Amino acid sequence: MIQLDEPHLCVLVDEKVRAQFADPEAEMRRAVDWINQIVDGVVAEGVHPLSTASGEKGRGEGITLAVHLCRRNWGRRGWGAAGGYEVLLPHINRLEVQQLMLEFSIPVAGDLAVLRELPPQVKIGLGCVDVRFPEIEPPEKIVERVQKALAHVAPERLWLNPDCGFAPGKDHEIPWEEAYLKLKSLGAAGRKLREG
């Protein structure tokens, strides 16, 4: 898997951030175009992620390309943008990747119903564990978040993820023990969901 982090496109979910640009739609198009140019470079090297060994298009053993749409993780200070993904849909649906990593553990992430609007072939990395604050969410709370997402998307399309990285910048370091406990809780939630 090759995951590209995209911290500019996703902050445009926020009305206040969009207001800073003369043409926010052009900003969104540009961000997607740049990602697609990067992806095109990978495809040009003959490792297209959806190609099989025989050259047929299909579910091959190649590289999975993913994009993490990040609201800018500011550690203990929270996030850098608030708003649902709906405003981005026409743009993120143009991304030439197989998986989208979306933040949904925070209250400002918007409605999970937006998952229905994503291309059906795209896997969804559901951000269901908050990485910003020290509280360790119990597996039951994570399961509840995932079950809400399952009302909108088939389970085979869903991957469980933390919202973002645990130490995305020098000012946002998360203690190792905290990250471990959050991931342990995520693993326990995954087991509960498989058993249930």
Instruction: Say what the pLDDT of residue 26 is.
Output: 95
Report which of 140, 41, 122, 58 is spatially closest to residue 85, judged by C-alpha positions.
122
Adjacency order of strands within the sheet including 123-129: 2-6, 65-69, 99-103, 123-129, 158-162
- If you search the block for the tokens 């099989």, which residue do you land on? 52
Give yes or no for residue 59 having a pLDDT over 80.
Answer: no
Boundaries of domain holding 178: 2-195
Compute the residue count for the chain. 196
Flag whether pLDDT at 32 surpasses 60: yes
Domain count, the chain: 1
Q: Say whether pLDDT at 58 is over 60.
A: no
**Host H or E run for residue 129:** strand 123-129
Domain containing residue 103: CATH number: 3.20.20.210
pLDDT in tens, 76-117: 766 778 889 999 999 999 999 999 999 999 888 889 999 999
